[in-house]
Structure 1
Amino acid sequence: MISALSRKFLLYLAHNEAMRQVITAYGMAPQSGFARRFIAGETLEEALQVVLGLNRGGFLVTLDALGENVTREVEARQAAERYLSVLDKIHQTQANSNISLKLTQLGLDIGWELCEEQLRALLEKARVYDNFVRIDMESSAYTQRTLDMYRAFREKGYTNVGVVIQAYLYRSEKDVKDLIAFKARVRLCKGAYSEPKTVAFQSKREVDQNYLRLMKWLLEEGNYPAIATHDEAILQAAREFTKAKGIPSTKFEFQMLYGVRRDLQERLVREGYNLRIYVPFGKEWYPYFMRRLAERPANVQFLLKNIAREFLPAPSKGRA
């Protein structure tokens, strides 16, 4: 298991420019790029081929055009335009996919009104196509503003929008109760950012316990919740709980990340559950990729093996 210190170091590297240059130089190389296990490509066209392939395998999808924390208005508008194009292409190709986005991509750090304007345009386009927009959750510095923006649009009559709750935050118990009362569509995840002990549980045991508690509330009382996890124990607990409570599989979905635990993904589909794959794409893939490494030791081993393949000479094929 990755130690807390190692995880924090990997999350630190997500913002390290020198490491970014090394990883991005090789990560998306044609055929051999090791980041392609977790990233569907740098272009929308590449990503759509992945989406359609997943659909043929029985998977639902949510597409994420990667990017975070824009600092200029023009960047926020460009991000919104990218997502408008994603919605158009999903409709044109009849892909079974919705979209996931971060409010900082749409200019939340610049101003509320700018972000609100971009999100409104996306929700209107999604409404025309009978599609859905999931607002991703970011670090705890954005939690309240993200929930406020979500609630503002729900109060304006937009029902095609959902939000994310992170189980490692202390505040999530109250947030889940409020969102259930609001009939919100919630994705529950553990949380992937480095958070201090003043706002978040630090041990896996505590995070898992809180996740299970919130998950059961959402499954029993929520509005089509999305249970986002690769944790086999939690997945089994969800299956046992829904069977015991008589909750049909049509009332919720599981969500997993592209390239992570494909064996589990295929098993859940075979068992008849709705499973949505979170498919990221775009040139700004490095921070997302590093957060995935921080979550599971197998991901780190995968990276090291592929970096070694790039930098070390191949062994001689002659006789020893």
Structure 2
Amino acid sequence: LDLLGEHEDDPDRAEAATETYVQLVRRLAREREAGTLQHVNISIKLSMMGQQIDEDLCLEHLLRLLAVAEDEDVYVRLDMEGSDTTASTLRLFERAWEQYPGRVGPVLQAMLKRTAHDVERVCEMGASVRLCKGAYKEPRAIAYQNMDQIRERFTAYMKRLLGGGATYPGIDGIPPSAFEFQMLYGMRPQTQQALADDGYNTLVYVPYGTEWLPYFTRRLTERKENVWFVLKNFFRR
């Protein structure tokens, strides 16, 4: 689950977002205990928790959340947002990892040119990684623009992560239990079901909340492929 929202610049609202995440963790843990859920994890956006107000404030909020997640055995994924927060997100991840190793992990975007270095770092740490291509429109100086090149980098990073000590991502020859596919809710649901039916760990990423319009608009406008995908599937239905 991922609570929608981003770039909070009000300390009170950042505190409120943190409390919402805390309550979400507790609710998911209760649902798991009741037998309605099996695997429980959440994705969070640090920019909702005061990242761009003050990193130390954001870390305080993050550690509070991780303390509850540790008690409830819930995994916390740090979403990667635009490149203006990439370095900060990875700094906060490493600071949180010192206290909660194995409880928190980052997302890395194959389109960013810095990711080659970041992959080496997470391999060194042995952290769980969500590897994605990247959904943000970024300048040519820091990001690959050609989709074939992005796919090539994605494959190379996936192989490195599998062989370098970081947990998850997957490739032929690795047992299905050793990695998982993570896909956005509503995107190729037949593929999601087919992967699950074939015995692969398949996680469906579900955004929710009232702040849906900025998220939806960005997903559609930043990459023309997203507009075409939505239209194609709309008329298919």
Question: Same fold by TM (over 0.5)?
Answer: yes
Matched, 1:150 2:93: yes
Matches within 5 A, 1:25-104: 63-94=1-32, 95=37, 96-104=39-47
What is the match of residue 288 of structure 1?
215
- TM-score, normalised by the number of residues in structure 1: 0.68
What is the match of residue 137 of structure 2?
194
Q: Helix, strand or coil for the counterpart of 1:184?
A: coil
Match of 1:299 among 227, 230, 236: 230
What is the match of residue 263 of structure 1?
190
Q: CA deviation at 1:270?
A: 1.1
Amino acid at match of 1:272: G
Q: CA deviation at 1:158?
A: 3.5
* Structure 2 unaligned spans of 5+: none
Q: Return the alpha-carbon distance in structure 2 between the equivalents of residues 157 and 278 of structure 1.
A: 23
8 A Cα contact 2:110 2:157, kept in partner: yes
Q: Helix, strand or coil for the counterpart of 1:250?
A: helix
Amino acid at match of 1:115: C
8 A Cα contact 1:292 1:299, kept in partner: no
Q: Return the alpha-carbon distance in structure 2 between the equivalents of residues 251 and 165 of structure 1.
A: 19
Q: Return the alpha-carbon distance in structure 1 between the equivalents of residues 159 and 9 of structure 2.
A: 39
* Structure 1 unaligned spans of 5+: 1-62, 228-237, 306-320
Q: Return the alpha-carbon distance in structure 2 between the equivalents of residues 185 and 174 of structure 1.
A: 16
Matches within 5 A, 1:10-25: none
Q: CA deviation at 1:271?
A: 1.0
What is the match of residue 251 of structure 1?
178
User: Of the two, which has the highest radius of gyration?
Assistant: 1
Q: Helix, strand or coil for the counterpart of 1:188?
A: strand
Q: Give CA deviations for 1:270-294 in whole Å, capped at 9, x if unaligned.
A: 1110010101100001122234334
Match of 2:172 among 239, 242, 251: 242
Q: Return the alpha-carbon distance in structure 2 between the equivalents of residues 115 and 300 of structure 1.
A: 38
Q: Helix, strand or coil for the counterpart of 1:242?
A: coil
Query: CA distance change for structure 1 residues 220 and 158 in 2, over 3 Å: closer, same or farther?
Result: closer
Amino acid at match of 1:76: A
Q: Return the alpha-carbon distance in structure 2 between the equivalents of residues 216 and 263 of structure 1.
A: 26
What is the match of residue 74 of structure 2?
131
Q: Give CA deviations for 1:279-312 in whole Å, capped at 9, x if unaligned.
A: 1100001122234334431214456x6xxxxxxx
Amino acid at match of 1:214: Y
8 A Cα contact 1:67 1:285, kept in partner: yes
Q: CA deviation at 1:248?
A: 1.0
Give the structure, 1 or 2, with the largest relative contact order (CA under 8 Å, sep 6 or more): 1
Amino acid at match of 1:126: A
* Greater mean deviation of Cα atoms: 156-165 or 210-219: 156-165
8 A Cα contact 1:185 1:222, kept in partner: no
Q: Give CA deviations for 1:71-125 in whole Å, capped at 9, x if unaligned.
A: 1000100100111111111011112321101110000111112101110111000
Q: Return the alpha-carbon distance in structure 2 between the equivalents of residues 134 and 124 of structure 1.
A: 14
Q: Return the alpha-carbon distance in structure 2 between the equivalents of residues 300 and 139 of structure 1.
A: 25
